[in-house]
Chain A
Amino acid sequence: MIKVLFFGAAADRAGTREAELEVEDGMTLAEIWPLLVERHPDLAPMRDTLAFAVNDEYARANAVVSAGDEVAVLPPVSGG
């Protein structure tokens, strides 16, 4: 089980700020994405704009995620 956090526009599109997801060992962020979209279809159009973090640090699509990890779905940042 991993924890998934959604922020900003992604939270809007997901309809929630937090979800738990069952993942298989060795899955990458790229492999987890379809599972997220299956559950939250409105996220799909945002894919190319999104960045991801695993346990509080930016991570690439080929990053491997393990049980207990926290994955954050990050739309383009707009602080300032």
Chain B
Amino acid sequence: MFAIVDGPIDVGALIAGAQRPDCGAIATFVGTTRVDDSEGASVEHLEYEAYRPMADRKLEEIGAEIMERWDVRHISIVHRLGRVDPGETSVAIVVASERRGPAFEASRHAIERIKEVVPIWKREVWSDGYVWVGSQVGTREPATGSH
């Protein structure tokens, strides 16, 4: 299942949906909003936007890539848009396979590819302005943290 959603992601439901009798492993990656601090200011929340339907299609392409490369039996990728508060989930990837190796590798591949090719952008909204991650364009001095 590949989806881009506007509200909270139910990670538990995604994991439950991946449980199947022919698989002994489910790997889950969950990306959450981290509060960075810099020179007395801090991140208050993140805001995501996407180019749709291209972003939806790119998620499906990543799924197809994974199915071709690894013996996995189930993949879900869900990405959230809009405001995501500290600690909340912005992206969840759930992969099931017969044994653990492919599930671990495929879930790692999925998040790396999302960060390379899926047209989704995030803006860090700080206490003193905002910045588009990756472009360093915004209303505050560029953040120095890693992403």
- State the A residues within 8 Å of B (CB): 5, 7-10, 12-13, 46, 49, 53, 56-58, 72, 74-80
- Chain A residues with CB under 8 Å of B120's CB are 77-80
Complex alpha-carbon distance, A10 and B79, angstroms: 21
Contact A57 B54 (CB under 8 A): yes
Asked, given contacts A5-B51, A46-B137, A53-B54, whether A79 binds B123 with beta carbons under 8 Å apart, the answer is: no
Contact A78 B119 (CB under 8 A): no
Whether, in the assembled complex, B9 has its beta carbon less than 8 Å from a beta carbon of chain A, the answer is no
Complex alpha-carbon distance, A56 and B114, angstroms: 16
- Who on chain A is nearest to B124 by CB? A78
- Chain A residues with CB under 8 Å of B134's CB are 8-9, 49, 75-78
How many residues of B are counted as interface, with CB atoms below 8 angstroms from the partner's CB atoms? 30
- Chain A residues with CB under 8 Å of B50's CB are 79
Contact B115 A80 (CB under 8 A): yes
Complex alpha-carbon distance, A80 and B31, angstroms: 6
Chain A contact surface mostly:
mixed
Contact B54 A79 (CB under 8 A): no
- Who on chain B is nearest to A76 by CB? B134
Complex alpha-carbon distance, A52 and B49, angstroms: 16
Complex alpha-carbon distance, A77 and B49, angstroms: 10
- Chain B residues with CB under 8 Å of A8's CB are 49, 121, 123, 132, 134-135
Contact partner of A77 (CB less than 8 A), chosen from B90, B121, B137, is B121
Contact B132 A9 (CB under 8 A): yes
Interface string of B25-42 (1 = CB under 8 A from A): 000000100000000000
The 7 nearest A-B residue pairs measured at CB: A79-B120, A8-B121, A9-B135, A9-B137, A76-B134, A9-B132, A78-B134
